[in-house]
Each structure stands twice: as structure tokens, then as C-alpha cells.
Structure 1
Amino acid sequence: MHPRPDDNRIKIAPSILSADLSRLAEQVREVEAAGADRIHFDVMDGRFVPNITFGPVLAKWLRPATPLPIEAHLMIASPDDFLDAFAEAGADTLIVHVEGATHLNRTIQRIKALGLKAGVALNPATPAVMLEEILPDLDLVLAMTVNPGFGGQSFLPGTLKKIRAIRRMIDEVRPDCELEVDGGIDAETAPQVVEAGARVLVAGSSIYGAADGPAAGMDRLARSLGL
């Protein structure tokens, strides 16, 4: 087994899906000041998932508002059609779904050719084995812990087993690949996914939906992890 990379700390990626878009720059700066490591940008097309959210134009507008890395999570039916647009908009990482990318190797190669980090996401019912062929080429694996499409859903406990399986695969094949989770992450579920092997936590409602504000939501999440 290969050793894990030196930077094995837990990272928090607030999702702007739950942010107040009328104050987006301000809300991003709040989580930045509270210690966020990156910004998670949820892209939905109404086809791959039953919702429509953001496109490259908003990503381009957001880019100068924060120095934090922006990861675009492309929950869309034809990701290849938008890779260049999100690269031009200033995204640092592009994450595509194994279920939505018809020619996954070609898609990952294009992301790398654009000079970006490449990630692959798996829906809850998609087995970890679907990563076997593509894992050596990845910078990030995103395990969905809810079915994608809407914020505020409840965490699916059955995904913990898959997170552990992906952790083992990464440690064996691609130890510098990040393992990220997305869906229902809060102060209760965060320690569970970290114990299972996740190192990057996407959180939307528990941060931007916090009654006492995003900074307080960030603090609760961090304290639950002993950060």
C-alpha cells in the first residue's frame, strides 16, 4: 500500500447552492474568513438531475470575488459541451459524473488538457468499482451521500460502506487523489464520513442555512471534527 499524501487534513467546501444569491460575494467572503478551503459550485441542467441552477456566467462573475479554488460539480447530461466554458470562467477543478459522461477517459483528458484538476462523482447507487479504470487519472473522487438535484436532503447512511471502499482503492492506486463527499453533511454526519475515509466535505444547508449565519455553521462543522 502506498503512503497517503502529506496534506491529509480535513477540508471544508461550502456549497453556494444554499447561499443567498442576492449577496453571493458577501456570503462567499464570510465562509472564506471562517476558514473554508474551496467553494463548491453546483451546476444542474434539468436533465441529468431534476433541477436547474448555475452556469459558466455566474462562475465567471464569482471568480474575482474570492481567491479560494472553485470546483464546478457538473451534474449535467453532456458535460463535454461545457468543459471549455467553465475553464474560461475560472474554475480550478471540474467534476463530472460517471453516469453522465459517455466517454469518461476522453472527458478527463480534456479537463487535464485545459490545465484543471479532474474529478469524478458517483451517485449513491453507483458502485465504487466503476472507478477502477479511471482512478489512476483522477485528482478527486466525489461520493454523493444524497441523490443529486436538491440541497437540504438527509444523509444516506448506506453510503458509508462505499466511502470506505473508495478510500481503500485510492490508498492502493492513487494516494494523492482526494476523497470528497457531498450531501447531508452537518455536525452529526461529518465525523462519520471522516471516519470512513473522506477528507473533503461539501456542506450547503448546514452552513448557509444556519440560523446564526454561515460563519457559525462553519464553526459547528469544524468543532465536530476537532478542527
Structure 2
Amino acid sequence: MSGDILIAPSILAADFARLGEEVAAIDAAGADWIHCDVMDGHFVPNISFGADVIKAIRPLTNKVFDVHLMIAPTDAYLEAFARGGADLITVHAEAGPHLDRSLQAIRSLGRKAGVSLCPSTPEATIEYVLDRIDLVLVMTVNPGFGGQSFIGSQIEKIKRIRTMIGERPIRLEVDGGVTRDNAAAVAAAGADTLVAGSAVFRGRGAADYAANIEAIRAAAEAGRVPHLQNSSAQRMRVSEGGLIR
């Protein structure tokens, strides 16, 4: 499993009339990453914002910009998002015919690369690109709208992807309907990066957002405890057997 639990509030749930203030507020509230959901009205049934908006808010925070492209095609727009300030660019496995090429293009721009899977897409789709990516994003709702309910069947997919990742330095992110109520189950399945929109942007500013972020983080950390205990016990048994120095 990767390192600490990261919380990445999705600005799709922010007040767009005060977007700059909202970004500053979640930064102050303890967000680890800023998740930017880009929708084109073609790949998904909604339109959100593009590279120019990301460029406009980039100076407001030093946090990682986690840019999730729900667009098709993707390759023609990668450079614009890289120049706009994306630190990590995630494309959908379903959005184009040449996923490997898209991931290579992201890396060539000096950005970290991620791949996202819709709920109906099997994890086998990413088997041959695991060594080209820094992040796997499991959608736990059908992409296109915020505020949807978590699809529970994706928990098993998260577990299987965690096994596929193995010891690779790949973060496993979950996006869609994540709340303090299901964060423990998500983390117990193996996720280490949680995107939350509506569950973070409840309240009236940084203090409320901070409480929401902390509640999600605490629940996720609690969910990881059995995994950490099991891993520790296993390492101890192996060590006692003389296989670890």
C-alpha cells in the first residue's frame, strides 16, 4: 500500500461564482490535492471547465492539481492542461483507442500520468500499462455529474486493482459519492487517495471544509488499520523465519 491517505476535494462541487475563494478555502482547510473534473458534454453528459480555468486558479495554491479528463478525444488537449498547471493528468481508458500512447504523451510533457476506469470497465484493461502510470482512478459513480450515490460493487474492483499494483509506486484513487460514511470501506479495500466533492463543500468556508476533510480522513485512516496490522504481523512472521534482515 502507498503512503498516507490523501484527500482531494473536487472543485466541481465548489461555488463557481467564488471559485478562487473556494480553492483558497480548501487549501487552508487541509486538502492534500485539488481535484479538477474536466467534462466535455461528449464523453460525459455535462460540461464543466477547461484548461483556461485551471490556469486562472493555479496561482492560488501550491497543492497538486489532480486533473481528471472526462473528455474524448484527449491527446489534442494534453499540452494545454499541462501548460495550464496540471501536475497529474488522468485520462479515461474508455476515451480513446490508444491508451498507451496517451500515457506516453502525458509523461513526455513532464507530468504524472493516471488512468481512470468507469464502473463497468474491468480492471484487466490497465494490465499492460501499469508500468506507465502513477495513479489509477476508480470511478464509483458513472462520470458526468457530482452528488451521485456510491456504487458499492466497485469495492471489489478496488481490491483487485490494489493486488494488481503490488509494490509499484502507484496511488489508487477513488472518485464518486465518497463520504465519511464509506471512506473506511474504500480505504480498507486498498484506496489511498479519496476524491470528495459534495462531502467537502458543505458549510460556509474553510473551517467547515476543514472539519469535513478531517472527518473523511479519520474514517479512511480507521479503515486502513486492519490492513496495517495484518501487514505488520506478516512482516514479523517472515522476519522471525529469517527471510528479512
Q: TM-score under structure 2 normalisation?
A: 0.86
Task: Tell me the amino acid that sits aligned with residue 138 of structure 1.
Answer: I
SS where residue 147 of structure 1 aligns?
A: coil
- 1:11 matched residue in structure 2: 6
Looking at secondary structure, tell me which structure has more helix per residue.
2
Q: Percent identity?
A: 50
1:32 to 27, 35, 42: 27
Task: Tell me the amino acid that sits aligned with residue 151 of structure 1.
Answer: G
1:42-53 mapped onto 2 (5 Å cutoff): 42-53=37-48
What is the CA deviation profile of residues 112-150 of structure 1, one whole-angstrom value per residue up to 9, with x for unaligned ones?
000000000000010011110111111000000000000
1:111 to 103, 106, 110: 106
1:1-227 mapped onto 2 (5 Å cutoff): 4=1, 8-171=3-166, 175-210=168-203, 213-226=208-221
**Largest Rg, 1 or 2:** 2
Structure 2 residue ranges without an equivalent (≥5): 223-245
> What is the CA distance between 1:38 and its match in structure 2?
0.6
What is the CA deviation profile of residues 26-50 of structure 1, one whole-angstrom value per residue up to 9, with x for unaligned ones?
2122221221111000000001000
Q: Distance in 2 between matches of 1:137 and 1:38?
A: 21
SS where residue 141 of structure 2 aligns?
A: coil
> What is the CA distance between 1:102 and its match in structure 2?
1.7
Output the aligned Cα RMSD.
1.4
Q: TM-score under structure 1 normalisation?
A: 0.93
- Against the structure 1 CA distance between its residues 211 and 33, is the aligned structure 2 distance closer, same or farther, given a 3 Å change threshold? closer
Structure 1 residue ranges without an equivalent (≥5): none
After the TM superposition, list the runs of 4 or more consecutive aligned residues in structure 1 that deviate by more than 3 angstroms. 209-213
Task: Tell me the amino acid that sits aligned with residue 96 of structure 1.
Answer: V
